Amino acid sequence: ETIQRRLSVQVWIGCVLWPHSRRCVSVREARDIAAAVRETAAKLGTPARTVAVFVDEDLSRVRQVCTDASINVAQLHGSLDWQEHVLRAMDSWPSWLDYARVLRPDEAAQEPSKRAITTADGRPPCYTLIDPGRGDGKPFDWRKFSNERVLGPDPGLWMIAGGLHAGNVVEAVRVTNAPGVDVASGVEVSTDGRRKHESGEGSADAYPQHSGRVYRPRKDPARLEAFLDALCSVYGGRMI
């Protein structure tokens, strides 16, 4: 709601279903988040969708989780071979289930034939996310990034991710000309109240552990507002 009151843009709210992530949520939590997103979008009259995030996941579980959580977009992290396997089988998926691809800059540039893979019935992705890691806040050198080399001549909607925060997102967008961005660690604090590193970059030590307990991070309103200020300065109302 904070984002959509500041920027009239398409918003994608991610629910991480990868069990090795500190942000992993249960299917029940994902269902509740998806319901809240639909309610807020209807109230504000602005577009928003919930995305289930998977990493090298079994195809049947991707389909089942999205069905049980009432989420209609699956974001696919993993090797290009795994993505090809999943996408080739999507002709058997329900028509309401869309997908988003995640490409590592180096991997996609090295294997251009696989970056253009679509489903068997030719459905394009909702968007393509350029992320050098697995949603862990790992940055990459935007100055060496060529969207045409990585994405091809007709990429559709694409976004960048990887260690973005209020202090660097303006430069990242200006250098890459990305029409959208993905942020998590750069607007988070630990649930025990401790802030992440001021840089906003991901780190194994950024989230404290006490007595073996791993604290799930949460979004920090002040950091989110600072990030939105930066986006307004570079995008204005131009974001997709």
Pick from 70, 48, 67, 138: nearest CA to 102: 138
32 pLDDT exceeds 80?
yes
Say what the pLDDT of residue 115 is: 62
Say what the pLDDT of residue 84 is: 79
* 74, β-bridge pairs: 52, 99
Task: Please tell me whether residue 48 adopts helix, strand or coil conformation.
Answer: strand
Higher pLDDT, 17 or 200: 17
Pick from 214, 237, 240: nearest CA to 20: 214
Where does the pLDDT of residue 209 fall: very low under 50, low under 70, confident under 90, or very high at 90 and above?
very low
**SS3 of the chain: helix, strand, coil, percent, to 5:** 40, 20, 45
Count the neighbouring beta carbons within 10 Å of the beta carbon of residue 221. 11
Say what the pLDDT of residue 170 is: 94
> 25-39, 52-66, 138-152: lowest mean pLDDT where?
138-152
The pairing of strands 128-130 and 209-210 is unpaired
Mean pLDDT of 125-146: 80
- Mean per-residue pLDDT of the chain: 80
Helix pair 221-235, 169-176: axis angle to 10 deg: 30
Say what the pLDDT of residue 153 is: 67
Residue type, 77: H
Task: Please tell me whether residue 197 adopts helix, strand or coil conformation.
Answer: coil
Where does the pLDDT of residue 4 fall: very low under 50, low under 70, confident under 90, or very high at 90 and above?
low
Task: Please tell me whether residue 12 adopts helix, strand or coil conformation.
Answer: strand
205 pLDDT exceeds 50?
no
Say what the pLDDT of residue 202 is: 39
Where does the pLDDT of residue 192 fall: very low under 50, low under 70, confident under 90, or very high at 90 and above?
low
181 pLDDT exceeds 90?
yes
Mean pLDDT of 200-211: 38
Mean pLDDT of 93-118: 74
Compute the CA torsion angle 216, 217, 218, 224 (nearest 10 deg).
Answer: -170
> Percent of the chain scored above 90 by pLDDT?
30
Say what the pLDDT of residue 214 is: 55
pTM as predicted: 0.82
197 pLDDT exceeds 50?
no
Say what the pLDDT of residue 165 is: 94
| pLDDT tens per residue across span 150-159 | 676 677 888 9
> 73-77, 94-98, 199-203, 226-230: lowest mean pLDDT where?
199-203
